């Protein structure tokens, strides 16, 4: 469904990704784990068009999308839930969801999608008229995921959805990803919460300083020496 | 001082304040969207006033009828200025951004002087004339009409920004243009629209002011200055703030004029200084 081939990305000439290649098949949850600054967010930003690769290619459903502007990538079926949530704080919960559906104009589809999101995160139903900036961290993350889902993506990319959220809510949010997958979406998850992410994922990649150093199923990676030593401190 | 005189000043201050608010909100909308101050805003107003003047003189079109014409023309001007100048300096240093719009203002003012001379002009025979007697309170009909029309325009803008999907997209872009792009919103299109709508507001204000004020190349200066103050006073990017601040400035100007006619703007600036000292983000500001 999504494939990156030898992608190189740099910020102002400083390279951040050195020839990253990986694939995601439809219906999978794939996670990219790695420490701060390894380039995890850079991968997502490159797929969603916020960054342009210097070399290599990004293909989505056989179509080359590197170089396509960010505001057009959503319409192709990729939603990016960015790090730090980046909600529109002065808009209400409902308005944030509406903006999320900017590329999906049909009112019927929109209200059906909203209902699905309220089923997934019931608390948002009670918060509909509240300004997004007044929600708790966990609620904001749920809204950010919901806002991404409103575009009805076939590929949902999430950047650190557990960052700064109470541990109890982290489980809820990660559990919701399993439900989103069951409803037919493909998920690319970037996480520092290595254990939970690898337990949830079908497959995973370990990223270190802009290179993929290890790949395998979630269970394989959890058993690997590299992951156990570098990320689990065992 | 007799109460009637004070009431009279309050009433005319309120009327002018509504027009100031409409001028200010155009500026505020553009700033809130992209953090660029349009230093040619006053010249846009001047162009709208001259357009109204020439339409009246050459084609006998009443200023009231030129309101929609000026709105449309200034919308187009705003879009052209964005496409031709602003979109090229979006990532330029702030000084370059200031000089771009400041230079545009100087250019427009000088061009107006060159083509139309520095003479004061007055729109000949308009439909709306005379005064309204409100129980001893006399209000010029042109001013009354201008303030009502300005309020209507203001209300329409408010509903557009807060109730329509494009309005939400504009708000989303002004909060976080990268996140908005991830939703499928092109910031370039929103900026273009913002310049169009911001200029449209000042176009409406210009046509309304041409009904009762003399028109000359420098006419925009004072209005633009008051609009900058209104934007800073109300809070950068706040629509409601622009309305409240516009009306406050109108009131302070009119009441200050009673006590101290030649220094009435001193009162406005002192008020502004007091507000920014106590509340630098302005009354409704978020910065």
DSSP-derived 3-state class of residue A19:
strand
Distances (CA, A) of A94 to A161, A180, B160: 20, 20, 17
Round to whole Å and give the CA distance between A91 and B226: 30
Spans of all domains in chain B: 3-117+138-278
- Report the pLDDT value the prediction gives residue B271, as an integer from 0 to 100: 87
A178 in contact with B, Cβ within 8 Å: no
- Report the pLDDT value the prediction gives residue A6, as an integer from 0 to 100: 93
DSSP-derived 3-state class of residue B194:
helix
Model confidence at B98: pLDDT above 90: yes
Round to whole Å and give the CA distance between B187 and B178: 8
Round to whole Å and give the CA distance between B66 and B62: 6
- Report the pLDDT value the prediction gives residue A171, as an integer from 0 to 100: 86
Distances (CA, A) of B115 to A85, A204, B50, B109, B217: 54, 70, 11, 10, 10
- Report the pLDDT value the prediction gives residue B276, as an integer from 0 to 100: 83
Contact state of A48 with B182 under an 8 Å Cβ cutoff: yes
- Report the pLDDT value the prediction gives residue B190, as an integer from 0 to 100: 97
**A31, β-bridge pairs:** A189, A204
What is the enclosing helix (H) or strand (E) of A95? helix A93-100
Question: Nearest 5°: CA angle at A89, between A87 and A94?
Answer: 75
Contact state of B169 with A100 under an 8 Å Cβ cutoff: no
Please write the tens of the pLDDT for every residue from A36-90. Answer: 888 899 999 999 999 999 999 999 999 999 989 999 999 999 999 999 999 999 9
- Report the pLDDT value the prediction gives residue B78, as an integer from 0 to 100: 97
Is residue A33 a contact partner of residue A203, using CB atoms and an 8 Å limit? no
Which of the four pLDDT bands, split at 50, 70 and 90, describes residue A144? very high
Is residue B233 a contact partner of residue B275, using CB atoms and an 8 Å limit? yes
- Cβ atoms < 10 Å from Cβ of A4: 23
Tokens of B191: 């900026």
Model confidence at B128: pLDDT above 90: no
User: Of B253, B198, B212, whose CA–CA distance to B45 is shortest?
Assistant: B198
| Closest CA of chain B from A80, distance in Å | 6
- Report the pLDDT value the prediction gives residue B286, as an integer from 0 to 100: 66
CATH-assigned architecture of domain B3-117+138-278: Orthogonal Bundle (1.10)
Model confidence at B107: pLDDT above 60: yes
- Report the pLDDT value the prediction gives residue B202, as an integer from 0 to 100: 97
Distances (CA, A) of A15 to A55, A65, A182, A191, A208: 11, 20, 37, 21, 13
Is residue A99 a contact partner of residue B172, using CB atoms and an 8 Å limit? yes
Model confidence at B287: pLDDT above 80: no
**Contact pairs from chain A to chain B, CB under 8 Å:** 67
Please write the tens of the pLDDT for every residue from B39-93. Answer: 999 999 999 999 999 999 999 999 999 999 999 999 999 999 999 999 999 989 9
Radius of gyration of chain B, Cα coordinates, nearest whole angstrom: 19
DSSP string, B18-36: HHHHHHHHHHHHHHHHHS-
Model confidence at A9: pLDDT above 70: yes
- Report the pLDDT value the prediction gives residue A135, as an integer from 0 to 100: 93
B184 in contact with A, Cβ within 8 Å: yes
| Closest CA of chain B from A10, distance in Å | 18
Spans of all domains in chain A: 2-230
Mean pLDDT of B20-42: 94
B165 in contact with A, Cβ within 8 Å: yes
Tokens of B225: 């200055």
Please write the tens of the pLDDT for every residue from B231-268. Answer: 989 988 888 999 999 999 999 999 998 888 888 889 88
Please write the tens of the pLDDT for every residue from A191-229. Answer: 888 888 999 999 999 999 999 999 999 999 999 988 888
A134 in contact with B, Cβ within 8 Å: no
Dihedral sign, Cα of residue A72, residue A74, residue A80, residue A82: positive
Model confidence at A98: pLDDT above 80: yes
What is the value of pTM for the model shown? Answer: 0.91
Tokens of A20: 């990253």
Quick one: how far is CA B238 from the chain centroid? 14
Contact state of B175 with A88 under an 8 Å Cβ cutoff: yes
Instruction: Give CATH for domain A2-230.
Output: 3.40.50.300
Please write the tens of the pLDDT for every residue from B162-212. Answer: 999 999 999 999 999 999 999 999 999 999 999 999 999 999 999 999 999
Distances (CA, A) of B11 to A39, B128, B161, B222: 62, 19, 29, 21
Is residue B260 a contact partner of residue B19, using CB atoms and an 8 Å limit? no
**A212, β-bridge pairs:** A207
Question: Counting Cβ atoms within 10 Å, is residue B247 exposed (0-12), middle (13-18) or buried (19+)?
Answer: buried
DSSP-derived 3-state class of residue B283:
coil
């Amino acid at each position: 469904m999504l494939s990156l081939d030898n992608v190189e990305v740099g910020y102002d000439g400083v390279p951040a990704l050195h020839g990253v290649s990986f694939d995601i098949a439809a219906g999978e949850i794939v996670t990219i784990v790695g420490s701060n600054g390894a380039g995890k967010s850079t991968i997502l930003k490159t797929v969603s068009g916020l960054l342009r690769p210097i070399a290599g290619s990004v293909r989505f459903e056989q179509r080359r999308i590197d170089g396509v502007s960010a505001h057009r990538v959503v319409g192709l079926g990729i939603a990016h839930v960015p790090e730090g949530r980046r909600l529109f704080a002065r808009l209400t919960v409902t308005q944030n969801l509406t903006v999320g559906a900017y590329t999906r104009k049909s009112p019927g589809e929109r209200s059906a999608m909203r209902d699905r999101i309220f089923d997934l995160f019931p608390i948002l139903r009670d918060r509909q008229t509240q300004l997004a900036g007044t929600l708790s961290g966990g609620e904001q993350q749920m809204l950010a995921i919901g806002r991404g889902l409103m575009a009805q993506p076939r590929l949902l990319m999430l950047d650190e959805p557990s960052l700064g959220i109470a541990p109890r809510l982290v489980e809820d949010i990660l559990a919701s990803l399993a439900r989103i997958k069951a409803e037919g979406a493909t998920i690319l998850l970037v996480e520092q919460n290595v254990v939970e992410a690898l337990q949830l994922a079908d497959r995973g990649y370990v990223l270190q300083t802009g290179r993929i150093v290890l790949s395998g199923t979630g269970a394989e990676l959890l058993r690997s020496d590299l992951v156990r030593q570098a990320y689990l401190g065992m | 001082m007799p109460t009637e005189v004070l009431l009279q000043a309050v009433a005319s201050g309120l009327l002018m304040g509504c027009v100031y608010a409409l001028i200010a909100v155009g500026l505020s909308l553009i700033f809130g969207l992209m953090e660029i101050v349009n230093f040619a805003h006053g010249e846009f107003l001047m162009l709208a006033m001259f357009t109204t003047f020439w339409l009246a003189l050459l084609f006998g079109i009443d200023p009231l009828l030129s309101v929609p014409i000026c709105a449309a023309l200034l919308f187009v001007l705003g879009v052209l200025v964005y496409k031709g100048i602003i979109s090229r300096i979006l990532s330029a240093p702030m000084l370059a951004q200031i000089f771009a719009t400041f230079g545009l203002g100087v250019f427009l003012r000088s061009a107006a002087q060159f083509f139309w001379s520095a003479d004061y002009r007055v729109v000949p025979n308009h439909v709306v004339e005379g005064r309204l007697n409100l129980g001893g309170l006399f209000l010029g009909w042109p001013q009354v009409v201008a303030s009502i029309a300005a309020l209507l325009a203001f209300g329409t803008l408010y509903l557009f920004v807060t109730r329509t999907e494009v309005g939400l997209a504009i708000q989303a872009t002004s909060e976080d243009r990268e996140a908005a792009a991830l939703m499928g919103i092109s910031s370039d299109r929103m900026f273009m629209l913002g310049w169009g709508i911001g200029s449209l507001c000042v176009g409406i204000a210009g046509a309304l002011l041409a009904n009762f004020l003399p028109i000359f190349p420098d006419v925009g200066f004072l209005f633009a200055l008051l609009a900058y103050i209104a934007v800073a006073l109300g809070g950068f990017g706040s629509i409601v703030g622009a309305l409240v601040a516009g009306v406050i400035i109108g009131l302070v100007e009119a009441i200050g004029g009673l006590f101290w006619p030649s220094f009435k703007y001193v009162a406005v600036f002192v008020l502004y200084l007091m507000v920014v000292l106590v509340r630098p983000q302005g009354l409704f500001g978020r910065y």
